[in-house]
Structure 1
């Protein structure tokens, strides 16, 4: 048995197939932000004809996103981030999106 795998918790189906891929999509959009911006700009500029006129931008965006979705190292990175957030939630009871550094107003 691989010792590095022994300490890794078992993931539920929903975590492996839904929650981690959702995190991957969010992070991939950040990493492909230039392509997202170009595609959005093209869509806004062309209106209803975007299906025909923005094919090049759409193809570049899809290629960038797919590259990240199919990268096993990216999946592992997102899985580690998900597990870290899960542990923090279990310890604090506060979801990651609500967990922010709050500075007391008396400072």
Structure 2
């Protein structure tokens, strides 16, 4: 199977809800990394939304045929409806191996 890495950067506290929705759409799991945004004041004005500095990054390896359904399920979450609440993007995975098996 071909794989994608689905990445979701969201306001801190939303990654668990996003992971729940992604699981319902076929994802098996993910990794949440805490971080903070680095937007400048003029970036906020340019995009016309309020950006919260505390962020979470959720990363999930998913089978390519599941990617669209998973992204759609995330986009439909009520916590993702407010402008500036997050962004989702994917990378095509060239190769990976499971370690420790």
- The TM-score, its normalising length taken from structure 1, stands at 0.25
* Structure having the larger proportion of residues in helix: 1
Richer in strand (by share): 2
Larger Rg: 1
Task: Select the structure with the greater relative contact order (CA < 8 A; seq sep ≥ 6).
Answer: 2
* TM-score after normalising by structure 2: 0.26
